[in-house]
Amino acid sequence: MTTLTDPPKEQFRLSMLLYDTRYRSATIQVIALIGFMLLAAWIISNTINNLADLGKPVEFGFFGEPASYDINQRLLEYTSRDTHLRAAFVGLLNTLVVAVLGCITATILGVIIGVLRLSHNWIVARLMTIYVEMFRNVPVLLWIVFIMAILIESLPAPRAFRGENPEAGMILSDSVAVTNRGVYIPEFLFSNSLGDIHLLGQSSLRFDISLDLIAFLVVLGAGMWVSRWIKHRADRLQEETGDRPVTWWQRLAVVLIPIAILLYLLGFHLGYPELKGFNFSGGTHLRNSLIALWLALSLYTAAFIAEIVRAGIMAISKGQTEAAAALGLRQKRIMNLVILPQALRVIIPPLISNYLNLTKNSSLAIAVGYMDITGTLGGITMNQTGRELECVLLLMLVYLTISLSISAVMNWYNESVKLKER
């Protein structure tokens, strides 16, 4: 009678790291990683030592020094006596404003233009093709400067609004003034304001958050949550009975009515711009630099998004459209309910890249005098302090953080809308 015994276990030897295929790839990767880290450490150490020999050690104390320059378009209170750190923070907010406005506008325009490029109307389709080819093949910097020149040269000066018979007039019931210095729009005011919350005290990053804004966002969020609950309830009833109740008016009411009540209690009213002296005062001033940058980035990026949308729609089988039409759906409903939801799988990944490109292209703002993070931290602050390495590294870190945040949000959205297979 024979007994089965386990084969003897092979003992590990150092030579196996190179000659055994089970370990060889991992060994090579570890060696390459160690070599890269040593090279990076040598470069960093050498740079720091050379800067120290030049009397410029790496340090960030310059952020506490007065900036001594103005920022024309800003969301926070700022004076030239504030620090370089606050100037950089104000510039960062300006970058985020352009990025958010540009992404929203470019998406809306891109979807519309992409759909119209597939129109059966020959004139409409060709006009959209001209738009796409014109904006895609001209550098965005030229569009920024071109639109800025149009705003300065074609719009009336503030003095044109003066007199009994002015050459120019305000629009929208005398509430908006469009001039060659920018657009003046009404500002939101509250006679029963709840006040502000002062964050970070007297530090360089101090800023105030309006309690009125917080209350508005809370009420809006609660209304949208209730509206979503009403929608889920309608979906459940439709699955159970086959009939879908009409709920659009309920969903609209639970969002708008609480907001209207809140605004009434806060004493909401508008502050209109008025011509005083040589310029308008009051209201909110949107400078031409912001408008030119916003429009140029939006129109330029919309051309690329239009092609992405067109490719996503064409990727859907024509049988989907024919089947929806056979059920009696109109063309608009087919596009909204059948084609676009499926096309999102193709559209969203390249759409992320275009959002990132728009955000990074906002660094061209300095060409028209819009003070974003590149113009403040990577421009005047760097030139005044002579801290090129620190400023450039922080600028790279800022754009890296913004880009990774956009990618994370869009990837999360992509996961939420993709088709779930059973």
**What pTM was computed for the model?**
0.84
* Token duo for residue 265: 């209690």
The H-or-E segment that residue 208 falls in is: strand 207-210
Residues in Cβ contact with 212 at an 8 Å cutoff, skipping those fewer than 6 apart: 190, 193, 194, 266
* Token duo for residue 187: 């500002």
State the residue for tokens 């502000």.
Answer: 196
Q: Residue 51: CA atoms inside 13 Å, Cβ hemisphere, count?
A: 15
How distant, in Å, are the alpha carbons of 88, 92, 387, 393 from that of 69? Answer: 12, 16, 17, 22
% helix, strand, coil for the chain, step of 5: 65, 10, 25
Beta strands in 213-330 (DSSP E): 268-271, 274-276, 279-281, 284-287
Q: What is the pLDDT of residues 11-66, one digit of tens each?
A: 767 777 777 777 788 888 888 999 999 998 998 888 888 878 877 777 888 888 99
- With bands split at pLDDT 50, 70 and 90, how would you rate the model's confidence at 3? low
The H-or-E segment that residue 98 falls in is: helix 84-116
Q: What is the pLDDT of residues 306-347, one digit of tens each?
A: 999 999 988 888 888 888 888 888 888 888 888 888 888 889
pLDDT at 303: 96
H-only helix segments in 20-68: 21-53
Q: With 60 as the cut, is the pLDDT of residue 4 above it?
A: no
State the residue for tokens 């990618």.
Answer: 407
When mean pLDDT is compared across 53-67, 150-164, 297-311, the lowest value belongs to 53-67
* Token duo for residue 401: 């953080």
pLDDT at 7: 63
Q: Which neighbouring-strand residues pair with 274?
A: 281
- Percent of residues, the chain, with pLDDT higher than 70: 96
Q: Which of 189, 178, 372 is nearest to 280 (CA)?
A: 178
When mean pLDDT is compared across 195-209, 324-338, 385-399, the lowest value belongs to 195-209
What does the alpha-carbon distance between residue 190 and residue 186 come to, in Å, rounded to a whole number?
A: 13
Q: With 70 as the cut, is the pLDDT of residue 386 above it?
A: yes
Q: Helices 140-154 and 288-314: crossing angle, nearest 10°?
A: 130
What does the alpha-carbon distance between residue 278 and residue 70 come to, in Å, rounded to a whole number?
A: 21
Beta strands in 36-186 (DSSP E): 177-179, 182-185
When mean pLDDT is compared across 181-185, 196-200, 243-247, 409-413, the lowest value belongs to 196-200
Burial of 116 (0-12, 13-18, 19+ CB in 10 A): middle
What does the alpha-carbon distance between residue 63 and residue 58 come to, in Å, rounded to a whole number?
A: 13
User: At CA 337, angle to CA 336 and CA 339, rounded to 5?
Assistant: 75
Residue type, 96: L
